[in-house]
Structure 1
Amino acid sequence: MIESVSRRALSGSSGSYHVRGAELARNRRLKSLSAIVTFLDDTQHTFQLDKRAKGQLLLDLVFQHLELIEKDYFGLQYSENGVNTTIPTSDAMRWLDPSKPVKKQIRSGHFFFAVKFYVSDPSKLQEEYTRYQFYLQIRRDILQGKLQLPTSTACLIASYTVQSELGDYHPEEHGPGYLSQLQLIPGQTEEMEKKISELHKLHKGQLPADAEFNFLDHAKRLDMYGVELHKARDSTNKEIQLGVTSIGLVVFQNSIKINVFSWSKIVKISFKRKQFFIQLRREQSENYDTLLGFNMQTYRSSKNLWKACVEHHTFFRLHSPKMRPKRFPLTLSSRFTYSGRTEFQTVEDGKHRARVERTFIRSPSKKIAHAITTAALTDDKGKLTIPPGRSSRSYDNKVQSLGAREPRQAWGEGNPSDDEGGFLSLREEITGSYTQGGAFSPALGSRVFSYADDDTTAERNIYDLPDYSEPTSSPAPQILEDGLVTISLTPDEQGRFGFNVKGGLDLDMPILVSRVAPNTPADRCYPKLNEGDQVVYINGIDVSGLLHERVVNLIRQSRDRGSGELTLTVRPNALYNALAGTDETSEEEPPYRYVPDAPHAAIGSDALAQSMLLLADGLASGALIAQYEQLYRKNPELTSLESKKPENQSKNRYRDISPYDVTRVILMGSANGDYINANYVNMEIPGSGIINRYIATQGPLSSTVADFWQMVLEAGSTLVVMLTTLVERGRAKCHQYWPAYNETLTLRNLTLTSTAENIEDTFIFREFILRDVNTGEERDITHMQYCSWPDHGVPSDWRQFTTFTERVRAARTGIVEPAVVHCSAGIGRTGVLVLMETALCLIEANQPVYPLDIVRSMRDQRAMMIQNASQYRFVCEAVHKAYSEGIAKPLPEFSR
């Protein structure tokens, strides 16, 4: 043994070999790296990449492995902190950047395949396999609690999962507890399983592809659908979440949506260190730019939110991504841009690409997969297959592409539709009951309308001539001037042309093709009819000035006449935003009529109880919302010319909220003219002799305060109801038009003195004395303010809202003069209160309650009353709960 060796002794002609260093150098010289990808069906695959490969190469390998054609909606996620988790639920999950090397992003070496951009409508997806991947993603979101939904909706959606996995309901095969082995919804109970089973029975005849299509068709309408959440804090340091979606930026607090900033309202997004900023477009009534700031957790989370906004805006709003300049100017700001294809490019590519018929294997739910693990087989791609003994029905898990069959619509094949263009047959009644011809599966409404403070900006029309190279037996197209094309269609043996239309004079939009069923005359014609094509003439008749129902009748008449031939003159691919400046592109849904044809013909306790049952059914199925969204927002026969006059435009808080001329409030003694943005709204309660009178108006501007109180004075009003705060999320919603407590506000010919102020929970009650300086007349004014109702949103507690409504009713007892009601625009929250009070009065008078009739009556007096579907759903739920819990019930004098 050598106990000690001098360093000098090893010098000179000696040698050494570093074993560990050589091994490390060998590892560094390896030319490949491994990336493990977990797919949505929980299978895994390992991909080998060159160590210099960029993220796009890994994405291409993943798409090739899945044989995924419509790939632009998907991406890969990884854990930023390097934790090798098996479930992508951490806030540290990041998207793989295609332009950067995988080596710099690989962290733990584990990636998760996921939907990155949630399509607004599953009908835009051409491939059945793409829809199946979306189905897996949504199902995963629900089970992980990311996508929260009401119990009734959860059961309805889960019933489609059962139909997809088990096929039709058969009593001999599906006995008690047959759903207990399926993991369907969080917190699944036996009672929920019974409800799911009842709904499962209604889906008879739906193939797995049909059920999955309907699953997505309902899921797309959930508030949290497609929302990518980021934790943040507002200016008051309250915890909030910022959701990036296809429509813009959504703000949540305590899981409640409190604000929406659509892309059309946002001018600029930026970040600096841990702060994230959005600049909003200046409104007509504003003389300043609004810049909202949010505090993020870290610089990295701030940048990730900014990148998510850039990607979502580019993908959903632009026709093609902005190209990077070849040479970047000297700048310290981020140079990130989205380089993939946009949704517009993806959809257009799908229209002209030949459909590929293919088969694939569906994966069962987790609990079933666990139960049959020993008998399960896997194909060459690791996808789970089902043993033959599970079911004798060939369509349970393996089906052909929908190139040969269109999914049965969520509203059930054959339901009458005002949007019908020969797409659906007319064999079933809209009763919700099962018939021999097929199952009725109710649908939720789909259109999301713009907000009051959205600008009216229409999308520019794009002309792209369709591909005429496809073989067909149809006559050659007649290409006319202005890019118009004439197409001739002959119905199939079922009498269908195979397309739906939307629009019309009553909907304030042109006639557009909304859907085209595969392998139908509309799909096989030459040239092919495409979604988005604008119909200009039907059989030589100009449809630009026709109501929607008239257009549908023209199509039906063509089908019923001798030859059955339909001649359309269309403008191909005419992209049109039906609600200019809105947050989403609207699409048609068939209207549901859950009320009798003559709703007020029968009165009495039976009619009231029946209307409440119909209300409950409509809420549970979503048909109530579909019905609401078919209603016109503005009465097309009424004008608003006074609001457009130059001297009156500055008196409007929002440029697109205008009072009808016929019902507008006309000022008699104002020095600024007779115009104010307000309408008389009268709601009659049949059988009681009661007429509730309102003045629905916008929140006063600083320049219209005097006009507001002049209106109160002239109308003889003694009650003012305010449903907004002065400022919401940094934006002025209403000017303070009253004095502080014990102070007096002096206006031109009147004074207003505050005599009392009482704060109760989220309400503020004030008392004023309004005095006419010229006559000396004084009047007591009650002012009631609801302080916790977010703009465009709904109250957090229906009981609290009902209590406030009852306080309003008590305050107007014995008063015949109109109550002045306003929010910010005077249409959304204002309409909700009017509907609620009207419904409570109808219940007390033992009259049936049909909310849609109430909305229609309001919109015939002031446009756009009740602004969006969430407000309508909330007030309908509040009405039903008030009735079912006995808060509102018929008065003795009206009981029989």
Structure 2
Amino acid sequence: MDIVESVSKRTFSGSSGTYNVQALELAAARERNKLKGFNVIVHFLDETVQEFTVDKRSKGSFIMEQVYQHLELVEKDYFGLQYSDNGCVPNVNKPELMRWLDPSKLIKKQLNNCQYPLYFRVKFYVSDPSKLQEEYTRYQFCLQIRRDILEGRLVLAPSTAILLASYTVQAELGDYQPEEHGNNYLSNLQLIPGQSEDMERKIAELHKLHKGQSPAEAEFNFLDHAKRIDMYGMELHKARDNTNREIQLGVTHIGLVVCQNNLKINTFSWSKIMKISFKRKQFFIQLIRELSEDYDTLLGFNMESYRSSKTLWKACVEHHTFFRLDSPKVKRKFLFSLGSKFTYSGRTEFQTVSDVKKRGKLERKFVRSPSKQLIKQPGQAPSVEEKGKVLSAPGRPPRPYDNKVTSLGAKEPRKAWADDSQMSDDDGGFLERTLEAPFSPGIAGRVLSYVDEEVPSPTSNGLYDTPPYSASHSPTSQITDEGLVTITLYPDDGKYGFNVKGGANPEEPILVSRVAPNTPADKCTPRLSEGDQVLQINGIDVSHALHEDVVNLIHKARGTNDGKLVLIVKPNVLYVGMEEFEEPPYQYVPAGDMQQRPPSPENALEQSMLLLADGLASGALIARYEMLYRKHPDLTCDVSMEAKNINKNRYRDISPYDTTRVILKNAPSGDYINANYVNMKINGTDTTNQYIATQGPLQSTSEDFWQMVLEEDCNLIVMLTTIVERGRAKCHKYWPNQGECLTMQNVIIKCVQEITDPSESFIFRDFILTDVKNDTEREIKHMQYVAWPDHGVPDSPAQFLSFTEKVREARKGDAAPVVVHCSAGIGRTGVLVLMETALCLIEAQEPVYPLEIVKTMREQRAMMIQNASQYRFVCESVHIAYLQTIDDTQEAKLFR
């Protein structure tokens, strides 16, 4: 007993020790089990599958970064990982079943501890592919859109599907090679739903026309056309409106889109929405109150379930943050509010674009994945039904000499065919320019054929010469009941200038398929547009007519004495509902603060700038511009076409209106000069900026030009062209060299100074004009913009704004008109007039509506701002100028 007691005391005394091996082993095992990773399978857009190992305590950002590193993806914020609650593949008809992996939450909680696969997808569809700097990013976008088309998510016209498929073939197979590709080289490839042999034939024909396009260029063209599709980038959520009508709601970079039967019927842009909310199965949007309203508009939609309602709400939050905010870190003031606190935690598009520009483009090589193959029995042609299915099959081995490419670096892929941005404003709208069919990029000399066009004679040069307008033969239009439009056309040179399609059967409508520039169909008010449905021709109902009968009716009309053609058309649905992007001012709630009240109704300038930004983002601004008449239908240009004056015009189709033309009083050669007065009233002020818009002088009209400067008391000349561009004369050098004199019958011009701006973009000259008869002298400032590229727009809006400000400074305190000219005196000239007008309006805190400014200019000189690229550029410059004004104002407040 004494021994036991002795042992016990020693055992439990302070001098002894124990080590619990079993307890520590169990604890270590539990810890290892807790830290043990698990595998996640990710399906990529090129049909490859990759397995990643992640920690159980990892957040979604961990696996997302692994995926981005695996792809070497730089512009990663447009993409995300999707999964479903039950592990099924993405379902087009059930978007509420799909989830986007949240980077801020634990992976295991989101996947519910299940080994569900993840799907790499485009989450935010870019509004313009030119924003994507990396070739590899554009390739991933192409893969996603091709998948959207095959899965029926992106609904599009067969002709568009065929065009996009042809670019896919060019990117994958390279140039068409007859000896290699043969007749049925597309029969095994799954390119579009419902693929038929006729479709494959059309795809092959278009593929031949893409010769010379690299894979990167073909993919850029693919995206450039895809972005214009109504359903582009939309995941549709089933809903019902307040009349219990079945509709679909989709979210895009523009805002919330309402669709019915896969057709867009309405759009609520972000600038019109004040608040977005949901409660159970109901989804609500509160619209910003218009200036004319004293009530708020709340629209409610009934969703299929609470889950679908919340999914749509989350999509709205994420898209608004990504596309509209500079940073997602916005303070929310409703700290004690109930409901979801969900916010978007990733980077915005602004941050992504800025970051990529800073780091530069990544030079890399990659192999493009081939399209899926159709599975069929040997020797058996696939049926149409089989071709409509998406079937998996082993891919074709890649052809490294076609598909493995090096990034183009700084070179931007060229467009599929030359658009109006490739036409100089000096070309007069037709000179040395061929018209190409929509599916014929890069084919020189291919002239567009029209339904009313005769076969050209062998001696014809193929150029369209715009005849002068007269009161009796101006194309006119009239709005009729039920949204229909009556358009009256008279042929010019035997042509109306449009083509039609459809009418294969009595149920297929007749639609306008093409409209030629500077033809009667193009110069209507509103313009006859592609997609307009023709309902009547000269009083005959053609709503159920066959194509051949319609063509015969048009030919018959042309054969009459005056060729009068009266059309009743239903305007293209593409432009229905675009009014929300234009002139009426709407209030706006600053992004991220849903409780803040709208700005004061008086701030119309801010509202006009929001509408301008929305119109640029959506393309509505350009669409409305292209519908505007180029020449006013009721104004004549008869004096310019008189025999004695024809040779005074630089271009045959650029003529001054009779009502606003400058009339010379004492010119040796007569009273005619190709110039118009253009006066721009600045609302809210007593100021009217006066201009004389004129063509670049010819050698034979230089004396007339200086006579005009003398008689109009002008002190400032703005020149927006160089003497020669791309080997073509654009303007005669109508002034002497520095220190020399130019002597004419009534005036003497001496150049006393010539200074080139340090950027070598501008040249400033000082002239002394001497009136010979009165022996008086006057100083003339001459400002020349030499960096404006031919067939394009200035490289830098900042540089252009700087020049415009210098023009404003030079004209201060001078009531005399400013002479502005380029070569034709309409394109670049119109851009400068609009820009200066907008800057004056911004300074006066007045709203700026560029389309109204263009209309005002074109009522005084035809075709001012000649093409859409010029109009887009000046609208973007106006918006940048406004933002700079805001920044300057805020900075000034800080230093008070």
TM-score (norm: length of structure 2): 0.47
**In terms of Rg, which structure is larger?**
2
Which structure dedicates a bigger proportion of its chain to helix?
Answer: 2
Normalising to structure 1: TM-score of the pair? 0.47
